[in-house]
Structure 1
Amino acid sequence: MKLTKLATVGALAISLAGLSACNNMMPQKSVATKAPMHSQSMAKMNVVQIAQSNADFSLLVEAVQAAGLAGALSNPNAHFTVFAPTNAAFMQVLQETGMSKAQLFSNKPLLTKILGYHVINGAMPVYAKDVKPGNITMLSNDTLMVTTQGKLMDENGRTANILKTDIAATNGVVHVIDKVLLPK
């Protein structure tokens, strides 16, 4: 996707409240060999603190801060399911789009839209055992597909692999992915 296509969604902002989650995420069979990093009972950090505690999420943390979403994603009363792209995923999307980090991180509406495409806000967090292939309505109000192979497919047909699942947080769960997802 080129910068011009990404810029067309730049004017769209998302609401961090009132959106519901879908129960689909990824097939259980695809994650049988992926061990959780933390058990659900050991959750002591919120989703933002989990990202802050791992150097491989430093670009994600910087993006969340640039978009002004750290406070909302730290809400102790929320139930987020977060697909967290690694630093390598951010570097790959910058190369793919031809954008610099400064260009992306300074475009708050675009950055907010992209980050919202990585979050499900629902009544309960969605763990790997609860998922099936199908479509998910994301916080950005865009659709993400879980393939029968257990990959995430964005609205542009790009696929992301899920590297780790079920990192429990006090306000949800984090799943690590290898690609930044892009809404249309």
Structure 2
Amino acid sequence: MLTKLLGAVALAASLTLSGAAYAQSNPMVGGAAMFADKNIVENAVNSKDHTTLVAAVTAAGLVDTLQSAGPFTVFAPVNRAFAALPAGTVDTLLMPENKAQLVKILTAHVLPGKYTAEDLMMRADENPGGFLIKTVSGDNLQFTKLGGVLYVVDENGNAARITISDVNQSNGVIHVVNKVLLPK
């Protein structure tokens, strides 16, 4: 009887630890669990820190694209990043007549392919002056490592810090950033 009880306790502990390891493999974002078996949109809608981004993706008509097979690497600005734009910018971009501009801005946050933080850091180590990757919009993002921290720099010289990296998705990866990246 004691052997069965100890076996049950060991099994329960094992399941708890493996569940914790799974949860640790994908960070929480905006107070929500992110699941590697869900796509970019399915996860983003659960983050309370990305409600503006989700609204923008919807207004731009990019939901189907970001639910497709990909893979994509998305640099996802938090609500505070959108709020830091000049007053009225987000409201103006969400207007139907500005859809093309909104699409351009949002796709400037997306790389074709999956780039983990390790991939980007390794390339930054190989290229101390930074390196460029072309976005889905056709613009370039520069990646630079300063003091062990990876920054994403848009074509206007605005630098965004990656605050949460490697949020794995079924169709790519999300890296949370603290600034909106703007194409020229």
TM over 0.5: yes
Aligned length: 141
Q: Which has the higher contact order (CA 8 A, sep 6+)?
A: 1
Q: Percent identity?
A: 41
Q: How far, CA to CA, are the matches of 2:101 and 2:137 in structure 1? A: 11
The answer on 1:72 being equivalent to 2:72 is no
Residue 36 of structure 1 deviates from its aligned partner by 4.9
* More helix as a share of residues: 2
> Retained in 1: the 8 A contact 2:80–2:178?
yes
> Retained in 1: the 8 A contact 2:167–2:174?
yes
User: Quick check: which has more Rg, 1 or 2?
Assistant: 2
Q: How far, CA to CA, are the matches of 1:64 and 1:72 in structure 2? A: 10
- Residue type of the alignment partner of 1:148: K
| Pick aligned residue for 1:140 from 137, 141, 149 | 137
Residue 99 of structure 1 deviates from its aligned partner by 3.3
Structure 2 counterpart of 1:126: 115
> Retained in 1: the 8 A contact 2:108–2:183?
yes
Residue 148 of structure 1 deviates from its aligned partner by 2.8
Aligned CA RMSD, in angstroms, stands at 1.5
Residue 121 of structure 1 deviates from its aligned partner by 1.4
Q: Which runs of 4+ in 1 moved over 3 A?
A: none
Residue 49 of structure 1 deviates from its aligned partner by 1.2
Residue 152 of structure 1 deviates from its aligned partner by 0.9
Residue 89 of structure 1 deviates from its aligned partner by 0.4
Residue 100 of structure 1 deviates from its aligned partner by 3.7
Structure 2 counterpart of 1:162: 162
Q: How far, CA to CA, are the matches of 1:152 and 1:100 in structure 2? A: 21
Q: How far, CA to CA, are the matches of 1:144 and 1:129 in structure 2? A: 17
Structure 1 counterpart of 2:5: none
> Retained in 2: the 8 A contact 1:36–1:164?
no
Structure 1 counterpart of 2:181: 181
Q: How far, CA to CA, are the matches of 1:36 and 1:170 in structure 2? A: 12
Question: Gaps spanning 5+ residues in structure 2: where?
Answer: 1-24, 29-34, 125-130
- Residue type of the alignment partner of 2:133: I
1:21-170 aligned at under 5 Å gives the runs 36-37=26-27, 43-75=36-68, 77-93=69-85, 95=86, 98-106=87-95, 107-122=98-113, 125-131=114-120, 132-133=123-124, 134-149=131-146, 150-170=150-170
TM-score, with structure 1 as normaliser = 0.73
Q: How far, CA to CA, are the matches of 1:148 and 1:78 in structure 2? A: 27
> Retained in 2: the 8 A contact 1:154–1:183?
yes
> Retained in 2: the 8 A contact 1:151–1:159?
yes
Structure 2 counterpart of 1:172: 172
